[in-house]
A and B are shown apart, each in its own frame.
Chain A
Amino acid sequence: NAGVTQTPKFRILKIGQSMTLQCAQDMNHNYMYWYRQDPGMGLKLIYYSVGAGITDKGEVPNGYNVSRSTTEDFPLRLELAAPSQTSVYFCASTGQGGEQYFGPGTRLTVT
């Protein structure tokens, strides 16, 4: 199993550009999550999904959108990138015991 995979690993965006962060898992997990991690801060939940076709907002959803058309994939869309979205983004999925498995992250810089 590859677990949770994310692409790209790094990206630099100009203010106002858009992009999609890709996330996929091969563990057949229903629950998936997107977090951002800023220096010195805890992981903040952006969006989550409890299954294909079902998504909902987390703690910091403004400026982001998600979709979940399959169990495996959970892409995160950034529209009109802003410097405040400079962060490291992690995707995760939940195992049977409630533990979350994380991808390697995408480091995004908006300038």
Chain B
Amino acid sequence: EDQVTQSPEALRLQEGESSSLNCSYTVSGLRGLFWYRQDPGKGPEFLFTLYSAGEEKEKERLKATLTKKESFLHITAPKPEDSATYLCAVCPIGGSTLGRLYFGRGTQLTVWP
């Protein structure tokens, strides 16, 4: 049973066309929610950590928000260099593996000029 679900699986945007990626999670207690960017052939690159509902983090054209059930990654006026797969992961409170992250399958974003 997936604890983290990301949607859509793939998203194509024209340059400048803002949109949002969704990450919904089902863990009973959340220690933290993490967003990563992954370029083809590379390891995931850490973007943001969110710890509590209502929290927001920003970096350039990206803004991550968190509610009790989901997180959004808002992309404002994207550029082609924002094309990548965006991964969401949660760290639940408790569990058998300290610090373990549960990853979603990712949203593959393509931004065309």
Contact = CB atoms under 8 A, between A and B. Distances in A.
Interface of A: 4, 31, 33, 40-43, 45, 48, 50, 56, 58, 90, 92, 94, 97-105
Nearest to A101: B46
B44 A90 contact: yes
Contacts of B45: 102
Contacts, number: 62
Contact of B97 (A45, A92, A97, A100): A45
B58 to A, nearest CB: 16
Interface of B: 2, 4, 31-32, 34, 36, 41-46, 49, 87, 89, 91, 97-106
Contacts of B32: 97-99
Given A42-B106, A97-B32, A99-B49, A48 B42 contact: no
Nearest to A44: B103
Given A45-B100, A58-B97, A97 B105 contact: no
B91 A98 contact: yes
Contacts of A100: 34, 44, 46, 89, 99, 101
A41 B105 contact: yes
B13 to A, nearest CB: 21
Contacts of A56: 97
B100 to A, nearest CB: 6
Given A42-B4, A98-B49, A99-B49, A58 B43 contact: no
Contact of A43 (B41, B91, B99, B103): B103
B108 to A, nearest CB: 10
Contacts of A31: 98-99
